[in-house]
Amino acid sequence: MHLFTKSSVFRLSKKRLRNRMETKIINDPIWGPIELHPLCIRIIDTPQFQRLRSIKQLGGCSFVYPGACHTRFEHSIGTSYLAKRLGQELQKKIAAEQSKELEITDEEILCLEVAGLCHDLGHGPFSHLFDLQFFKKAKPGETWEHEDASIKMIQGIFEIIQQDYVNDEEIKFIKDLVKQTDETCTEKRETKPFLYEIIANDLNKIDVDKWDYFSRDCHMLGLHHNFQCERSIKVARLVKHNGKYHISFPKSEYFNLFDMFYTRFTLHRRAYQHSVTKAVEMMIADAFLNADESLMFPPNQTDYMSILWKHMII
Protein backbone atom coordinates (compact mmCIF):
# COMPACT_ATOMS: atom_id res chain seq x y z
CA MET A 1 0.00 0.00 0.00
CA HIS A 2 1.38 3.40 -1.00
CA LEU A 3 1.05 6.31 1.37
CA PHE A 4 0.93 9.87 0.01
CA THR A 5 1.34 13.03 1.98
CA LYS A 6 -0.99 15.97 1.37
CA SER A 7 1.77 17.89 -0.42
CA SER A 8 2.68 14.97 -2.72
CA VAL A 9 -0.99 14.51 -3.70
CA PHE A 10 -1.21 18.25 -4.42
CA ARG A 11 1.93 18.09 -6.62
CA LEU A 12 0.55 15.03 -8.42
CA SER A 13 -2.78 16.81 -9.03
CA LYS A 14 -0.97 19.86 -10.44
CA LYS A 15 1.06 17.63 -12.74
CA ARG A 16 -2.05 15.83 -14.01
CA LEU A 17 -3.81 19.15 -14.54
CA ARG A 18 -0.81 20.49 -16.46
CA ASN A 19 -0.72 17.38 -18.65
CA ARG A 20 -4.43 17.66 -19.38
CA MET A 21 -3.96 21.28 -20.39
CA GLU A 22 -1.30 20.37 -22.97
CA THR A 23 -3.90 19.34 -25.55
CA LYS A 24 -7.54 20.23 -25.95
CA ILE A 25 -10.41 18.52 -27.75
CA ILE A 26 -13.23 20.59 -29.18
CA ASN A 27 -16.41 19.34 -30.81
CA ASP A 28 -16.78 20.80 -34.29
CA PRO A 29 -20.23 20.58 -35.95
CA ILE A 30 -18.64 19.55 -39.26
CA TRP A 31 -15.66 17.34 -38.39
CA GLY A 32 -16.58 16.11 -34.90
CA PRO A 33 -13.97 15.95 -32.10
CA ILE A 34 -10.80 17.86 -33.04
CA GLU A 35 -7.65 17.53 -30.96
CA LEU A 36 -5.66 20.75 -30.82
CA HIS A 37 -1.89 20.89 -30.42
CA PRO A 38 -0.66 22.92 -27.40
CA LEU A 39 0.88 25.50 -29.75
CA CYS A 40 -2.48 25.91 -31.51
CA ILE A 41 -4.18 26.44 -28.15
CA ARG A 42 -1.76 29.24 -27.31
CA ILE A 43 -2.33 30.88 -30.69
CA ILE A 44 -6.12 30.61 -30.31
CA ASP A 45 -5.89 32.38 -26.94
CA THR A 46 -4.20 35.46 -28.48
CA PRO A 47 -6.20 38.67 -29.21
CA GLN A 48 -5.25 38.37 -32.89
CA PHE A 49 -7.06 35.06 -33.20
CA GLN A 50 -9.93 35.81 -30.82
CA ARG A 51 -10.97 38.77 -33.01
CA LEU A 52 -11.98 36.22 -35.65
CA ARG A 53 -15.01 35.41 -33.48
CA SER A 54 -16.51 38.72 -34.63
CA ILE A 55 -15.77 38.39 -38.34
CA LYS A 56 -18.55 36.76 -40.34
CA GLN A 57 -17.39 34.13 -42.78
CA LEU A 58 -19.90 35.10 -45.48
CA GLY A 59 -20.07 38.87 -45.13
CA GLY A 60 -23.60 40.10 -45.81
CA CYS A 61 -24.96 36.67 -46.71
CA SER A 62 -26.71 36.36 -43.33
CA PHE A 63 -29.20 39.01 -44.50
CA VAL A 64 -30.43 36.41 -47.01
CA TYR A 65 -29.71 33.18 -45.12
CA PRO A 66 -30.27 33.83 -41.38
CA GLY A 67 -28.22 30.75 -40.45
CA ALA A 68 -25.08 32.06 -42.16
CA CYS A 69 -23.73 33.64 -38.99
CA HIS A 70 -20.64 31.46 -38.64
CA THR A 71 -17.28 33.18 -38.36
CA ARG A 72 -13.67 32.93 -39.47
CA PHE A 73 -12.90 31.53 -36.00
CA GLU A 74 -14.39 28.07 -36.54
CA HIS A 75 -13.38 27.97 -40.20
CA SER A 76 -9.73 28.50 -39.24
CA ILE A 77 -9.85 25.65 -36.72
CA GLY A 78 -11.46 23.38 -39.32
CA THR A 79 -8.83 24.26 -41.93
CA SER A 80 -6.08 23.51 -39.41
CA TYR A 81 -7.63 20.10 -38.72
CA LEU A 82 -7.90 19.17 -42.41
CA ALA A 83 -4.35 20.38 -43.12
CA LYS A 84 -3.10 18.07 -40.38
CA ARG A 85 -5.22 15.16 -41.67
CA LEU A 86 -4.02 15.46 -45.27
CA GLY A 87 -0.40 15.97 -44.19
CA GLN A 88 -0.49 12.87 -41.99
CA GLU A 89 -2.08 10.78 -44.76
CA LEU A 90 0.67 11.76 -47.21
CA GLN A 91 3.27 11.20 -44.50
CA LYS A 92 2.00 7.66 -43.95
CA LYS A 93 2.07 6.80 -47.65
CA ILE A 94 5.57 8.24 -48.12
CA ALA A 95 6.81 6.25 -45.12
CA ALA A 96 5.31 3.06 -46.60
CA GLU A 97 7.23 3.69 -49.81
CA GLN A 98 10.40 4.42 -47.78
CA SER A 99 11.14 7.57 -49.75
CA LYS A 100 13.67 9.60 -47.75
CA GLU A 101 13.66 12.34 -50.38
CA LEU A 102 9.96 13.14 -49.82
CA GLU A 103 9.73 12.37 -46.10
CA ILE A 104 7.28 14.63 -44.23
CA THR A 105 8.43 15.27 -40.66
CA ASP A 106 6.24 15.77 -37.62
CA GLU A 107 7.58 19.33 -37.45
CA GLU A 108 6.28 20.00 -40.96
CA ILE A 109 2.89 18.56 -39.98
CA LEU A 110 2.77 21.02 -37.08
CA CYS A 111 3.69 23.89 -39.41
CA LEU A 112 0.82 22.90 -41.70
CA GLU A 113 -1.52 22.80 -38.72
CA VAL A 114 -0.46 26.27 -37.55
CA ALA A 115 -0.56 27.75 -41.06
CA GLY A 116 -4.10 26.42 -41.54
CA LEU A 117 -5.06 27.98 -38.22
CA CYS A 118 -3.55 31.38 -39.06
CA HIS A 119 -4.23 31.73 -42.80
CA ASP A 120 -7.25 34.03 -42.30
CA LEU A 121 -5.98 36.16 -39.40
CA GLY A 122 -5.80 39.29 -41.57
CA HIS A 123 -9.44 39.38 -42.65
CA GLY A 124 -11.26 42.64 -42.02
CA PRO A 125 -14.91 43.15 -40.97
CA PHE A 126 -17.35 41.10 -43.06
CA SER A 127 -14.40 39.13 -44.53
CA HIS A 128 -13.99 39.66 -48.28
CA LEU A 129 -16.31 42.67 -48.27
CA PHE A 130 -13.48 44.61 -46.59
CA ASP A 131 -10.72 43.89 -49.10
CA LEU A 132 -12.75 43.39 -52.30
CA GLN A 133 -15.19 46.28 -51.93
CA PHE A 134 -14.33 48.76 -49.17
CA PHE A 135 -10.56 48.82 -49.63
CA LYS A 136 -10.77 49.12 -53.41
CA LYS A 137 -13.06 52.14 -53.06
CA ALA A 138 -11.14 53.69 -50.19
CA LYS A 139 -7.68 53.22 -51.73
CA PRO A 140 -8.13 53.03 -55.53
CA GLY A 141 -5.04 51.91 -57.39
CA GLU A 142 -3.47 50.19 -54.37
CA THR A 143 -3.24 46.44 -53.93
CA TRP A 144 -3.70 44.69 -50.60
CA GLU A 145 -4.72 41.16 -49.62
CA HIS A 146 -5.78 39.84 -46.26
CA GLU A 147 -2.84 37.39 -46.37
CA ASP A 148 -0.49 40.37 -46.06
CA ALA A 149 -1.97 41.22 -42.68
CA SER A 150 -2.04 37.52 -41.72
CA ILE A 151 1.73 37.28 -42.16
CA LYS A 152 2.30 40.36 -39.99
CA MET A 153 0.01 39.01 -37.29
CA ILE A 154 1.75 35.62 -37.33
CA GLN A 155 5.07 37.35 -36.78
CA GLY A 156 3.58 39.41 -33.95
CA ILE A 157 2.07 36.34 -32.27
CA PHE A 158 5.37 34.45 -32.21
CA GLU A 159 7.12 37.51 -30.80
CA ILE A 160 4.76 37.44 -27.83
CA ILE A 161 3.83 33.85 -26.96
CA GLN A 162 6.24 31.53 -25.20
CA GLN A 163 6.70 28.27 -27.08
CA ASP A 164 9.31 25.60 -27.71
CA TYR A 165 7.64 23.88 -30.65
CA VAL A 166 8.86 25.76 -33.76
CA ASN A 167 12.07 27.64 -34.54
CA ASP A 168 12.65 30.78 -36.63
CA GLU A 169 13.07 28.82 -39.87
CA GLU A 170 9.82 26.97 -39.28
CA ILE A 171 7.99 30.24 -38.53
CA LYS A 172 9.27 31.49 -41.88
CA PHE A 173 7.90 28.30 -43.47
CA ILE A 174 4.51 28.84 -41.80
CA LYS A 175 4.28 32.36 -43.25
CA ASP A 176 5.33 31.03 -46.66
CA LEU A 177 2.47 28.50 -46.50
CA VAL A 178 0.01 31.36 -45.93
CA LYS A 179 1.37 33.49 -48.79
CA GLN A 180 4.42 32.83 -50.90
CA THR A 181 6.60 35.92 -51.20
CA ASP A 182 10.27 36.50 -51.93
CA GLU A 183 10.69 37.68 -48.34
CA THR A 184 9.36 34.45 -46.81
CA CYS A 185 10.63 32.08 -49.50
CA THR A 186 12.06 28.81 -48.17
CA GLU A 187 13.95 26.03 -49.91
CA LYS A 188 10.98 23.69 -49.33
CA ARG A 189 9.26 25.36 -52.27
CA GLU A 190 11.76 23.57 -54.51
CA THR A 191 12.31 20.34 -52.61
CA LYS A 192 8.73 19.71 -51.41
CA PRO A 193 6.33 21.82 -53.50
CA PHE A 194 3.43 19.51 -52.61
CA LEU A 195 3.38 20.96 -49.08
CA TYR A 196 2.25 24.26 -50.61
CA GLU A 197 -0.72 22.56 -52.26
CA ILE A 198 -2.37 21.56 -48.99
CA ILE A 199 -3.70 24.88 -47.63
CA ALA A 200 -3.71 27.21 -50.67
CA ASN A 201 -3.29 25.33 -53.93
CA ASP A 202 -2.51 27.76 -56.77
CA LEU A 203 -2.01 24.83 -59.16
CA ASN A 204 -5.56 23.45 -59.38
CA LYS A 205 -7.47 25.12 -56.50
CA ILE A 206 -8.03 21.81 -54.67
CA ASP A 207 -7.04 22.49 -51.06
CA VAL A 208 -8.23 22.05 -47.48
CA ASP A 209 -9.22 25.71 -47.10
CA LYS A 210 -11.95 25.21 -49.71
CA TRP A 211 -12.86 21.78 -48.35
CA ASP A 212 -13.69 23.29 -44.98
CA TYR A 213 -15.63 26.33 -46.11
CA PHE A 214 -17.58 24.39 -48.76
CA SER A 215 -18.74 21.90 -46.13
CA ARG A 216 -19.23 24.51 -43.40
CA ASP A 217 -21.07 27.03 -45.59
CA CYS A 218 -23.41 24.36 -47.00
CA HIS A 219 -24.17 23.19 -43.47
CA MET A 220 -24.96 26.69 -42.19
CA LEU A 221 -26.89 27.73 -45.29
CA GLY A 222 -28.94 24.53 -45.31
CA LEU A 223 -27.74 23.56 -48.79
CA HIS A 224 -27.09 19.95 -49.79
CA HIS A 225 -23.76 18.80 -51.23
CA ASN A 226 -22.35 15.43 -52.29
CA PHE A 227 -18.63 16.15 -52.06
CA GLN A 228 -16.74 14.00 -49.52
CA CYS A 229 -13.36 15.47 -48.64
CA GLU A 230 -12.62 12.60 -46.25
CA ARG A 231 -12.51 10.32 -49.29
CA SER A 232 -10.17 12.69 -51.16
CA ILE A 233 -7.83 12.74 -48.17
CA LYS A 234 -7.71 8.95 -48.08
CA VAL A 235 -6.90 8.52 -51.78
CA ALA A 236 -4.50 11.49 -52.18
CA ARG A 237 -0.98 10.57 -53.27
CA LEU A 238 2.17 12.14 -54.69
CA VAL A 239 2.90 11.93 -58.42
CA LYS A 240 5.99 13.26 -60.19
CA HIS A 241 5.31 15.75 -62.99
CA ASN A 242 7.94 17.82 -64.82
CA GLY A 243 10.55 16.79 -62.27
CA LYS A 244 8.52 17.78 -59.17
CA TYR A 245 6.12 15.89 -56.93
CA HIS A 246 2.53 17.15 -56.66
CA ILE A 247 -0.59 16.00 -54.84
CA SER A 248 -2.68 13.89 -57.19
CA PHE A 249 -5.83 11.78 -57.11
CA PRO A 250 -6.75 8.55 -58.94
CA LYS A 251 -9.28 8.47 -61.78
CA SER A 252 -11.83 6.94 -59.43
CA GLU A 253 -11.92 10.30 -57.62
CA TYR A 254 -13.05 12.18 -60.72
CA PHE A 255 -16.75 12.43 -59.87
CA ASN A 256 -16.09 13.34 -56.23
CA LEU A 257 -13.86 16.23 -57.30
CA PHE A 258 -16.45 17.19 -59.90
CA ASP A 259 -18.95 17.43 -57.03
CA MET A 260 -16.48 19.69 -55.21
CA PHE A 261 -16.37 22.19 -58.06
CA TYR A 262 -20.13 21.91 -58.57
CA THR A 263 -20.58 22.70 -54.87
CA ARG A 264 -18.48 25.82 -55.39
CA PHE A 265 -20.65 26.81 -58.36
CA THR A 266 -23.82 26.24 -56.35
CA LEU A 267 -22.60 28.32 -53.41
CA HIS A 268 -21.69 31.23 -55.67
CA ARG A 269 -24.98 31.04 -57.59
CA ARG A 270 -27.28 30.67 -54.58
CA ALA A 271 -25.43 32.53 -51.83
CA TYR A 272 -22.15 34.36 -52.49
CA GLN A 273 -23.41 36.16 -55.62
CA HIS A 274 -27.06 36.36 -54.58
CA SER A 275 -28.49 39.69 -55.74
CA VAL A 276 -29.68 40.67 -52.25
CA THR A 277 -26.37 39.65 -50.70
CA LYS A 278 -24.44 41.82 -53.14
CA ALA A 279 -26.84 44.75 -52.63
CA VAL A 280 -26.49 44.55 -48.84
CA GLU A 281 -22.70 44.31 -49.09
CA MET A 282 -22.59 47.38 -51.35
CA MET A 283 -24.56 49.32 -48.72
CA ILE A 284 -22.23 48.11 -45.93
CA ALA A 285 -19.18 49.14 -47.99
CA ASP A 286 -20.74 52.58 -48.57
CA ALA A 287 -21.38 52.88 -44.83
CA PHE A 288 -17.73 52.07 -44.17
CA LEU A 289 -16.67 54.75 -46.63
CA ASN A 290 -18.95 57.38 -45.08
CA ALA A 291 -17.63 56.54 -41.62
CA ASP A 292 -14.03 56.19 -42.80
CA GLU A 293 -12.56 59.36 -41.32
CA SER A 294 -14.59 59.24 -38.10
CA LEU A 295 -13.89 55.60 -37.20
CA MET A 296 -10.17 55.44 -37.86
CA PHE A 297 -7.85 55.41 -34.86
CA PRO A 298 -6.45 58.03 -34.96
CA PRO A 299 -8.83 59.88 -37.33
CA ASN A 300 -7.69 60.46 -40.92
CA GLN A 301 -5.34 57.48 -40.69
CA THR A 302 -4.61 56.23 -44.23
CA ASP A 303 -2.22 53.37 -43.56
CA TYR A 304 -4.67 50.43 -43.65
CA MET A 305 -1.98 47.86 -42.93
CA SER A 306 -1.15 49.81 -39.78
CA ILE A 307 -4.83 49.96 -38.82
CA LEU A 308 -5.24 46.20 -39.16
CA TRP A 309 -2.12 45.43 -37.22
CA LYS A 310 -2.47 47.95 -34.39
CA HIS A 311 -6.19 48.19 -33.88
CA MET A 312 -8.18 45.36 -35.43
CA ILE A 313 -6.72 42.85 -32.99
CA ILE A 314 -9.09 44.35 -30.39
Q: Residues 139, 287: contact at Cβ < 8 Å?
A: no
Query: Phi then psi for 56, rounded to 5 degrees?
Result: -65, 135
d(CA 252, CA 14): 52
SS3 307: helix
Q: Kindly give, in sequence order, each residue whose CB lies less than 8 Å from that of residue 279, ignoring residues fewer than 6 positions away.
A: none
Query: Phi then psi for 237, rounded to 5 degrees?
Result: -150, 170
In the chain, at which residue ranges do the beta strands (DSSP E only) sit? 24-28, 32-36, 237-241, 244-248
SS3 240: strand
- Which stretches within 134-291 are classed as H helix? 135-138, 146-160, 168-178, 188-191, 208-221, 229-235, 254-267, 275-290
Instruction: Choose, from 70, 75, 119, 146, the residue flagged as catalytic.
Output: 146
Q: Residues 200, 119: contact at Cβ < 8 Å?
A: yes
Q: CA 200 → CA 208, 231, 243, 250, 294, distances in Å?
A: 8, 19, 21, 21, 36
Active site residue 224: no
**Cα-based angle 79, 125, 302 (whole degrees, multiple of 5):** 125
Q: Residues with catalytic annotation? A: 146
